[in-house]
């Protein structure tokens, strides 16, 4: 079983750093369907197996949203677009390292297919809408 290739390509990299946002987003061909730049892209600093485990028992499913919350916390790199409305190849990002984050994903067939958002543990009250 492999992580869904697109999810892994867009969101999982144990070696990602804040400085690599522009390079990695370009190399991985991460754009919107119309070739405009994504406003943000989040990279989870982890090996694929740990991310997969969110959908295999190490996550908390929320019936209201249909999303699964990680029970473990992760370090992430959040790449934010510097200029709204930019299009490839002019996507310039600013990267930030965030630690101790709960990851919220959509699972299908025990694999994460969509990165929804990240939260601090204090923002993730059991089952309550945020």
Active site residues: 11, 114
> CA 47, CA 45: separation in Å to the nearest integer?
7
Q: Per residue in 33-72, is it b (16+ CB within 10 Å) or e — as a string?
A: eeeebbeebbbbbbebebbbbbbeeebeebeeeebbbbee
> CA 86, CA 57: separation in Å to the nearest integer?
39
């Amino acid at each position: 079983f492999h992580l869904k290739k697109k999810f892994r390509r867009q969101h999982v990299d144990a070696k990602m750093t804040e400085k690599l946002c522009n390079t990695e987003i370009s190399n991985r061909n991460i754009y919107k369907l119309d070739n405009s730049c994504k406003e943000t892209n989040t990279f989870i600093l982890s090996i694929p197996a740990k991310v997969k485990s969110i959908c295999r028992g190490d996550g908390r499913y929320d019936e209201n949203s249909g999303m699964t919350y990680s029970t473990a916390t992760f370090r992430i790199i959040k790449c934010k677009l510097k200029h709204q409305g930019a299009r490839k190849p002019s996507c310039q990002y600013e990267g930030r390292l965030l630690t101790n984050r709960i990851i919220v994903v959509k699972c299908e067939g025990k694999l994460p297919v969509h990165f929804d958002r990240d939260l601090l543990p204090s923002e993730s009250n059991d089952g309550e809408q945020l």
